[in-house]
Structure 1
Amino acid sequence: MQSQKIRIRLKAFDYRLIDQSSMEIVETAKRTGAVVRGPVPLPTRIERFDVLRSPHVNKTSRDQFEIRTHLRLMDIMDPTDKTVDALMKLDLPAGVDVEIKL
């Protein structure tokens, strides 16, 4: 029989929020007796935008903006019912996107 696994993928713009959230998830899972693999930092996605400063002339003058998306991946091996309940009740910050696959 294959063991069960919960895969959690976190996504956020602020690395401090994502690290704090991943530590909360790891502590919760370990407290309920599950084995945690991770958090594994995935490559940061950097999106860059170039915008003209002037609305009319000066094409060579531009502003550059970037948005960084930080990702973390965690696997919870052999979760118990307690683990699933504790993870569902966990309150994470609003700036963190959580994807859970069973």
Structure 2
Amino acid sequence: MAGNNYIKIRLKGYDHRLLDESSKKIIDAVKDTEAKVSGPIPLPNKRTVYSVIRSPHKYSYSMEQFEKIVHKRVIYIYNASSETVTKLLKVNIPAGVSVDIKA
């Protein structure tokens, strides 16, 4: 990877189906150019659990658990040209997906 110019796209979201759909859109857009694509690579999920007392005053032994899971994917694009970048900018990504792009 030392000699190649590559783009690292990191996707985060709560719904894994939206992430898979978004990564497929990105890969389809890049495949039209001469760039090579590696991914989507699934990264470990971030799971956060919250415990809340059910009753407002007493019976503090009765707890309710809520969890939040953040799913992550990484896509590497090698030998990217200016045409690849313009196609990436035109990809429509849903609102539930966070995209970080590093060159």
**Range into which the TM-score falls when normalised by the shorter chain:** over 0.9
Find the counterpart in structure 1 of residue 46 from structure 2: 45
Q: Tell me the TM-score normalised to structure 1 length.
A: 0.97
Question: How many Å apart are 1:2 and its aligned residue?
Answer: 1.8
- Structure 2: gaps of 5 or more residues: none
What is the identity percentage for the equivalent residue pairs of Structure 1 and Structure 2?
43
Question: How many Å apart are 1:74 and its aligned residue?
Answer: 0.8
The amino acid across from 2:90 in the alignment is: K
- Structure 1: gaps of 5 or more residues: none
Find the counterpart in structure 2 of residue 67 from structure 1: 68
Find the counterpart in structure 2 of residue 92 from structure 1: 93
3-state SS in 1 of match to 2:58: coil
Instruction: Give distance in 1, aligned partners of 2:58 and 2:18.
Output: 41
Instruction: Give distance in 1, aligned partners of 2:37 and 2:65.
Output: 40
Instruction: Give distance in 1, aligned partners of 2:36 and 2:19.
Output: 20
1:9-28 counterparts in 2 under 5 A?
9-28=10-29
Question: How many Å apart are 1:89 and its aligned residue?
Answer: 1.2
The amino acid across from 1:35 in the alignment is: K
The amino acid across from 2:98 in the alignment is: D
Instruction: Give distance in 2, aligned partners of 1:89 and 1:27.
Output: 12
- The farther-off stretch of 29-38 and 13-22 is 29-38
Pairwise CA RMSD of aligned residues?
Answer: 1.0
Instruction: Give distance in 1, aligned partners of 2:26 and 2:68.
Output: 25
The amino acid across from 2:16 in the alignment is: Y
Question: How many Å apart are 1:100 and its aligned residue?
Answer: 0.2
Instruction: Give distance in 1, aligned partners of 2:72 and 2:86.
Output: 24
List structure 1 runs of 4+ shifted beyond 6 angstroms.
Answer: none
